């Protein structure tokens, strides 16, 4: 949807060297969710008794290999394309294009893509259930791949934030958003997963909020959103390659295009 230049979004200098590692791990990570990075049944390099890794080391390795899940909320179909309720879809598409991740698969009731950001495995998903039933897609993905909730980032629109403003939080309630309500319900009531909110502003005058979220963006708003999506992409890269706190600091202090 967007034309992304490699100059705008350069990969790290180690990207080429990581291709072999990506190929080595991709099938292990995505085709068999219960597999491990280490097989302690392999022939030992040493003669005599074989030493098995400590349980804590095994657990850390298993957790580290779990992919991140990035879920963008929206409604399927051309009728809803480019509307305020679909900014979650749009940011996921933006990330997919920048990182070279194909979103051509339909799985778990979602447009689905697997790939890497740097050396980190990621899954991108756009539930096709309509916003209000997003949990029907997200719950099964999390369960199948055994993804820790701290590695499930949900991206969605928020009327309580000024237009194009981003806010990254480690957890929280649904805030009246029916898509988030559905996801929480399908995660057994847990709210302990991060979320990236994209501000769409408040309805003008006495406009019905339900009508407002289905309203398309104009040309100027799209230009500002492109800038917001670049910040969102950078935030995701920091999140998976460094940590949540650094990403949150970047997001929550970033200026919008209109304030530059």
C-alpha pair distances (Å), 171 with each of 56, 84, 154, 236: 26, 23, 10, 16
Q: Where in the chain is the domain with CATH 3.40.50.1470?
A: 66-259
Topology (CATH level 3) of domain 66-259: Rossmann fold (3.40.50)
DSSP string for the chain = -----TTTSPPPTTHHHHHHHHHHHHHHHHH-TT--S--TTSPPSSSSSPPPPPHHHHHHHHHHHSPEEEEE----SGGGTTBGGGHHHHHHHHHHHHHT----EEETTEEEEEEEETTEEEEEEEESS-GGGTHHHHHHHHHHHT--GGGEEEEEEETTS-TT-EEEES----TT-HHHHHHHHHTTT---S-EEEEE--PPSTT--HHHHTTPBP-HHHHHHHHHHHHHHHHHHHHHHHT-HHHHHHHHHHPPPGGG-
Cα 49 to Cα 142: distance, rounded to the nearest angstrom: 39
Cα 233 to Cα 92: distance, rounded to the nearest angstrom: 9
**What pLDDT score does 20 carry?**
53
Q: Are 73 and 156 in contact (CB under 8 A)?
A: yes
Catalytically active residues, by annotation:
85
Q: What is the pLDDT of residues 27-68, one digit of tens each?
A: 555 654 444 333 434 333 334 444 445 555 555 555 567 999
Mean pLDDT, residues 189-216: 94
Mean pLDDT, residues 146-163: 96
Cα 150 to Cα 2: distance, rounded to the nearest angstrom: 29
**What pLDDT score does 254 carry?**
79
Q: What is the pTM for the complete model shown?
A: 0.78
pLDDT at 22 over 70: no
């Amino acid at each position: 949807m967007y034309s992304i230049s490699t100059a705008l979004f350069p990969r790290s200098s180690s990207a080429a060297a990581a291709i072999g590692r990506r190929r080595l791990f991709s099938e292990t990570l995505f085709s068999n969710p219960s597999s491990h990075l280490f097989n302690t049944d392999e022939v030992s390099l040493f003669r005599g008794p074989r030493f098995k890794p400590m349980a804590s080391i095994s657990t850390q390795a298993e957790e580290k290999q779990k992919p991140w899940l990035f879920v963008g909320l929206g409604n399927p179909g051309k009728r809803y394309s480019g509307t305020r309720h679909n900014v979650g879809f749009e940011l996921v598409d933006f990330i997919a294009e920048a990182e070279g991740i194909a979103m051509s698969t339909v799985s778990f009731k979602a447009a689905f893509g697997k790939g890497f950001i740097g050396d980190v495995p990621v899954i991108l998903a756009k539930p096709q259930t309509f916003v209000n039933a997003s949990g029907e897609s997200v719950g099964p993905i999390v369960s199948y791949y055994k993804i820790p909730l701290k590695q499930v980032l949900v991206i969605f629109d928020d009327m309580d934030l000024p237009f194009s403003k981003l806010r990254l939080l480690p957890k929280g309630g649904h805030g009246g958003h029916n898509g988030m309500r559905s996801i929480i319900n399908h995660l057994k009531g847990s709210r302990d997963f991060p979320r990236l909110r994209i501000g769409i502003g408040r309805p003008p005058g006495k406009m019905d909020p339900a009508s407002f979220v289905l309203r398309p963006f104009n040309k100027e708003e799209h230009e500002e959103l492109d800038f917001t999506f670049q910040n969102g992409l950078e935030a995701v890269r920091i999140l998976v390659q460094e940590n949540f706190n650094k990403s949150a600091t970047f997001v929550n202090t970033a200026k919008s295009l209109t304030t530059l």
